[in-house]
Structure formats: C-alpha cells, structure tokens
Chains A and B, each alone.
Chain A
Amino acid sequence: MAATAASTAEGGNPPFRIRGTLTITRAASIQREIDAESDPLTIDLSGVERMDTVGAWLVYRAVRDRGAKVAGATPESQSLLDQVAEFDRPVQVHPDEKSSVTRVIAELGEWIAETGRTLVGLLGFFGATLVAMANLVSRPKRFRWNAVIQRFDVVGVRALGIIGLMSFLIGVVIGQQGAVQLQQFGAEVYTINLIGRITVRELGTLMTAIMVAGRSGSAFAAQLGTMKITEEIDAMRTIGVSPVEALVIPRLIAAVIMMPLLAFWAMLMSLLGGGIFVWLDLGIPPLTYIQRLQEVIPLTDLWIGLIKAPVFGFIIALAGCFQGMLVESNSEEVGLRTTTAVVQSIFLVIVLDAVFAVFFSSVGWI
C-alpha cells in the first residue's frame, strides 16, 4: 500500500496519489515522498481510506508552502484539512536560544548570584529560627512536645542500629590499619592510643554527623519540600501556625539533642570494635584494653567530641529545613534541594570540624 505517483495526466506533473492510510504510522515515508515530488504538485486523496490529523497536516503543509492542489478529498478528509489549517498558528515550541558564550556567562552569573542569595537566605533563616525560639521561650506553652519527641525517635533512636554498626566497623578498621603500621616498629601496643584518641576526639562525632546528614538532613529537606508543593505550609500560615515554630524548631531541637547522644554511642561502638580486634589479633585482653584506654584518653578529648556534636546537629537540621523551605514548584526541585541539603551540611560540618580542631589545639586541649 505504498503511495505511488501514477502517470495518468498528460502535460505537467502527474498527480501524486496517496492510497490506503494517511496516518502518523506512515508520516515519515509519506513526507519523504511528497518532498521528492516536483512542483507544481497535485495531491490526489481519492484513494485514502483513513486519514488522521498528522496525515492532514502533511497535505496541508504541501498546500501552504508549495501551493499544491488537493484533489479527490472526501468531505471527512476535507474537514480534517480545514481543521489543521485552522490550528496552524505560530506556536512557540522551544525556549528562546542564546549563544553559548552568553549562556555560559549568564549561568556563571546566575550561579554566583544564587550562591550569594543562598548564604543570605541561610542567615535570614537562622535569624527566623532564633526569633521563633525566643517567642517559644516567652510562651513555653506553645512548645510542641509531641513533635519533638517524635523527631527524637526518628532522628535518634532509629539511627542507633546503623550508626552503631558503622562505628563498630570503623573501630575495627582503625585497629587493623594501626596494628599493621605500628607492628613495623614493634609498637603495636600504641594501637590502643590510636583507636581511643581518634574515635573519641574526631571520628565518632564526624562520622555520626555525616550519617545524620544523610539520614535526617535529607529527610527534613524532602519532607518540608513536599509540604511546600502540596501547599500544606501555606495552609499552616493562613491558619496562623508558624511553620518555623511547628516544623523547623522541633527538628532543630531533635538534631541538637540527639547528635551528642548518637556521637557518644558511636564512640563506644568504635572502642568496642577496636577492642575486639586488638583482643583477637594482638592478644590484648579486654581488661588491659579498658585500663589502657583510661590512661591514654584525656577527658578533654571526650569534651571536644561532645561539644562539637550539637553544633553539627544544628547545622544539619538548619541546612535541611532551609533547603526544604526553598522548594517552590515541582517534584524535581525536591530532589535537587534534598541533594543540596546533604552536600551543604556535610561540607559545613567538615569546615567547622577543621575550625574546632585548630581552636581546641590552640587553647591547649591537646
């Protein structure tokens, strides 16, 4: 059922006859055949059994652009032709294109402006939460205990398993790597110093913060972002409930309180993991291990680890909630903001960790 050019007419071009179906299924081949015909063109539709709007469009376009004539159209095909003609309006399909140079410059400028806006916005958001907290302190009855307790469960209790396992394995890895290196100097007993100090002072808190950022920071951003899209947050505002008070503060408090507890748990599990390793591999019995830990870990190490934890928790919750509240339009943005929240909070946590490291060393907590 191919479209064929029948050579019937004398003089001029023979009419281009289309037989069978003139629909989207054959659109590509029919378009090629029409393009191959030379002007002046007559299209004979008398053999068409079925036509759809795409077929009509192809014929109409030949009429519009090349002045082709149409013959043998049934009333139905004529009405389809009229119809596509009616809807032939200039409609913009693609966004306006810019040259690549201006686009790159524009994107760079936008990125810088966006980064600036984000920083200012984060500061503003920080201020808004402080104001909300001050309000809560003056009217403690409005404090949402239930929401906070629920967040304790989600952020803290449910993270115990994964953070415990992760920390235990980190303890084992530090013990194993430390032992391998220190054995070369016959100083494998110092593995205990290594495990004790690095986990309590640094890794316990840092790894917990990274895990909480991935687990809870992302959840905060996604939850608030989805609530923005479904207009729940707008509804809250119109009822007179402050979203910062109802949604952000409970999450902030939960993160600030849960982080030190989780960090302490992570330290214990790392010490346990390291202890089991040195017991099995180096043959240091648990009692000796604990005794050595007491001797080599100064109490200030524990303070350093525990002081950092709530600050990290605050940063994680703040970044997560802030990014969630920035969601404006669609579901893709929720994903984007969630990613940004995690990246931002982990980055800020590591920057702050460096600041803390320098600070505590310089105040003599070595």
Chain B
Amino acid sequence: MKGCQPVIAVKGLANRFGEAVIHEDLDLTVCRGEILGVVGGSGTGKSVLMRSIIGLQTPAAGEIEVLGENMIGREEDEAKNIRRRWGILFQNGALFSTLTVAENVEVPIREYFPYLKPPLLDEIASYKIAMGGLPADAGPKYPAELSGGMIKRAGLARALALDPELLFLDEPTAGLDPISAAAFDELIVSLQKRLDLTVFLITHDLDTLYAICDRVAVIADRKVIAVGTIPELLALDHPWIQEYFNGPRGRAAADTAKEHAQA
C-alpha cells in the first residue's frame, strides 16, 4: 500500500501457551485511516494477536509498535498515554455489569479527565450513546437488561468515549441478526470516515469483510500469510484463502456486495 503511515507495526511476533505455538514470526502493519479486517480459522490466534497488540498478553518474542510507541516492556504510566488514544470493543462487550450504560461510557472520560463537571459529562455520554446507535432510553439501563446487539453498541459507545484514533473491534457482528449486523457495519464505516479512525477488525463475517474492509489480513500457519484487498487475496493460490472466499458463503457474500455496489 502506497503512502502507508503505520499505526500498528508488528514484527516477528511469537506467542506460545506452554507447548502450543500460536504465533511464530508474525508481521503485520496497519496504516492510518484504513479498516483492516483480520480473518483466520477458529483457533488461529486472531484474538491473541489483538490481545498482544493492546498489551493484555505479553508475547514470547517480537516487537509491537502502536501509534509510534513501542508496546513491549513499558511502564504502566507510559502505557496510559497510548491507552487514551485507542478504543476497544471486546467480543462480548465486556461492559461493567454493575454500572449503567451511561456510566460505562463515562468511565474512560472520568479516568482521564476527572475535573470535567457532571453536566458536561452527562452530555458527552448522551451523544456518545446516540452515536453508538442506542435508543434514547438506554442510558440508565444495566448491561443485564440489554440485548446482544445493544451490548455491542454500548461497548462501541464506550470505545468511542475518548475520540480514539485507533479502534479495535473483536468480532463486532458475531451473534447479531443480519439486519443489525449490516446496520453495525454501516455505523462503523460512517464513524470511521467522520472521525478519521483506523480500525483493526477481527471478524468471521464475510459480508462485513466485503462491505467495509479496505484491506484484509489472513492468519494461517501461525503467521499473517497475506494482506491485501479482497481481489488481491483472491489472486493468491493459498488453499485456505481460496476455500474461504470461494466457498459457498464467500460467493454469496461477494454477490451481495456486487449487488450493493450496483444499486
């Protein structure tokens, strides 16, 4: 990709759990302003890759740079400066179950800007909730009262609380019905354009890949075997990639994407 300004740069990453080798010599670069989809079979370590990048998992070897800062072996204080600049949507939302949706959204703001007054805080929370696509009565609800789709939207609202430059999404559309999933895709694209976000997106959803990803990284055999646009990937001769995109579901998603483009 020309003129790539790397936001995430992973070099020679290795991850092991005991005997099991998850990653070996894995390289990946995410450029500013793109939506990078990460795909791979179950158990290929997509989530582990994300956890390594955001510092929840210390890799066995390798270098990770996020927003120009080295992520490995950092002090907690230094890491905070980076954490302010990213937002993360976990697979199951990971909302704090004892706080309401509005309070969940306010948590990161309170942490970094404790001097903001409650009225302003509430206003910020309220438009972040609207931005996440939640209905007006969602603010005072607890996560236990929300549906799966609303939990993801609330998680997205929390991830967006500090206007991040970089957004990590771990299977954002998993478990959503197709209509909600499509709406979620659209929401991510429009937010990405308007807020100039860089998005690191782990997904199994082929429709999402076709609809919103600028580039797709494929993880197999413990490393990133290919990164590129979907047509570029289709030109490759790797069996897993061929099966993935040319399987029945892959074709169906491609057809939908074409129809969408024509319409």
Contact of A27 among B113, B131, B137, B195 (CB under 8 A): B113
Q: Is B162 an interface residue (CB 8 A)?
A: yes
Bound form: Cα–Cα A83–B129 in Å: 13
Bound form: Cα–Cα A328–B143 in Å: 13
Q: Is A95 an interface residue (CB 8 A)?
A: yes
Contact of A28 among B117, B126, B130, B142 (CB under 8 A): B117
Residues of A contacting B143 with CB < 8 Å?
330
Contact of A90 among B98, B120, B136, B194 (CB under 8 A): B136
Contact of A92 among B97, B124, B140, B194 (CB under 8 A): B140
Bound form: Cα–Cα A31–B130 in Å: 22
Contact of B116 among A28, A84, A91 (CB under 8 A): A28
Q: Is B214 an interface residue (CB 8 A)?
A: no
Instruction: Give residues 65-111 of A contacting B (CB, 8 Å).
Output: 79-80, 83-84, 87-96
Contact of B126 among A25, A79, A93 (CB under 8 A): A93
**Shortest Cβ distance from B136 into chain A, in angstroms?**
5
Q: Is B123 an interface residue (CB 8 A)?
A: yes
A92-B142 contact, Cβ under 8 Å, with A28-B117, A87-B130, A330-B98: no
Residues of A contacting B117 with CB < 8 Å?
28
**Shortest Cβ distance from A225 into chain B, in angstroms?**
13
Bound form: Cα–Cα A90–B134 in Å: 11
CB–CB B136/A330 < 8 A: no
CB–CB B123/A57 < 8 A: yes
Bound form: Cα–Cα A89–B130 in Å: 7
Residues of B contacting A80 with CB < 8 Å?
194
Q: Is B102 an interface residue (CB 8 A)?
A: yes
Residues of A contacting B195 with CB < 8 Å?
53
Q: Is A292 an interface residue (CB 8 A)?
A: no
Closest partner residue, chain B, to A84 (CB atom): B127
Residues of A contacting B194 with CB < 8 Å?
79-80, 83
Residues of A contacting B112 with CB < 8 Å?
24
CB–CB B129/A91 < 8 A: yes
A91-B126 contact, Cβ under 8 Å, with A25-B113, A330-B144: yes
CB–CB B129/A27 < 8 A: no
B contact residues, total (Cβ < 8 Å): 34
CB–CB B163/A23 < 8 A: yes
CB–CB A332/B98 < 8 A: yes
Total cross-chain contacts (CB, 8 A):
84
Residues of B contacting A329 with CB < 8 Å?
97, 142, 144
Residues of B contacting A90 with CB < 8 Å?
136
Q: Is A348 an interface residue (CB 8 A)?
A: no
Closest partner residue, chain A, to B109 (CB atom): A24
Q: Is A232 an interface residue (CB 8 A)?
A: no
Bound form: Cα–Cα A94–B102 in Å: 8
CB–CB B102/A27 < 8 A: no
Closest partner residue, chain B, to A24 (CB atom): B113
Instruction: Give residues 60-117 of B contacting A (CB, 8 Å).
Output: 97-98, 100, 102, 109, 112-113, 115-117
Residues of A contacting B97 with CB < 8 Å?
329-332
Bound form: Cα–Cα A28–B117 in Å: 8
CB–CB B163/A24 < 8 A: yes
Bound form: Cα–Cα A96–B128 in Å: 20
Residues of A contacting B162 with CB < 8 Å?
24
A contact residues, total (Cβ < 8 Å): 30
Q: Is B174 an interface residue (CB 8 A)?
A: no
Closest partner residue, chain B, to A61 (CB atom): B123
CB–CB B127/A91 < 8 A: yes
Instruction: Give residues 178-201 of B contacting A (CB, 8 Å).
Output: 194-195
Residues of A contacting B142 with CB < 8 Å?
329-330
Q: Is B122 an interface residue (CB 8 A)?
A: yes
CB–CB A92/B137 < 8 A: yes
CB–CB B125/A87 < 8 A: no
CB–CB B140/A88 < 8 A: no
Q: Is B149 an interface residue (CB 8 A)?
A: no
Q: Is A54 an interface residue (CB 8 A)?
A: yes
Residues of A contacting B98 with CB < 8 Å?
330-332
CB–CB B113/A91 < 8 A: no
Residues of B contacting A37 with CB < 8 Å?
none
**Shortest Cβ distance from A197 into chain B, in angstroms?**
49
Bound form: Cα–Cα A27–B163 in Å: 13
CB–CB B123/A87 < 8 A: no
Residues of B contacting A153 with CB < 8 Å?
none
**Shortest Cβ distance from B15 into chain A, in angstroms?**
26
**Shortest Cβ distance from A84 into chain B, in angstroms?**
6
Residues of A contacting B113 with CB < 8 Å?
24-25, 27-28
Closest partner residue, chain B, to A55 (CB atom): B163
CB–CB B136/A93 < 8 A: no
**Shortest Cβ distance from A165 into chain B, in angstroms?**
36
**Shortest Cβ distance from A75 into chain B, in angstroms?**
12
Closest partner residue, chain A, to B97 (CB atom): A330
Bound form: Cα–Cα A88–B116 in Å: 20
Closest partner residue, chain B, to A94 (CB atom): B140
CB–CB A92/B130 < 8 A: no
Q: Is A52 an interface residue (CB 8 A)?
A: yes
CB–CB B127/A52 < 8 A: no
Can you report 17 A-B residue pairs in the complex whose CB atoms are below 8 A from each other? A24-B113, A28-B117, A53-B127, A53-B131, A53-B195, A80-B194, A84-B127, A87-B131, A90-B136, A91-B126, A92-B139, A93-B125, A94-B122, A94-B139, A94-B140, A328-B144, A329-B97
Instruction: Name A residues whose Cβ lies closer than 8 Å to a Cβ of B.
Output: 23-25, 27-28, 31, 52-54, 57, 61, 79-80, 83-84, 87-96, 328-332
Smallest CB-CB A-B distances: 9 pairs: A329-B144, A330-B97, A87-B130, A91-B126, A95-B140, A52-B163, A93-B102, A93-B139, A87-B127
| Given A53-B127, A57-B127, A328-B144; 5 other pairs, CB 8 A cutoff | A24-B109, A57-B124, A83-B131, A91-B129, A330-B98
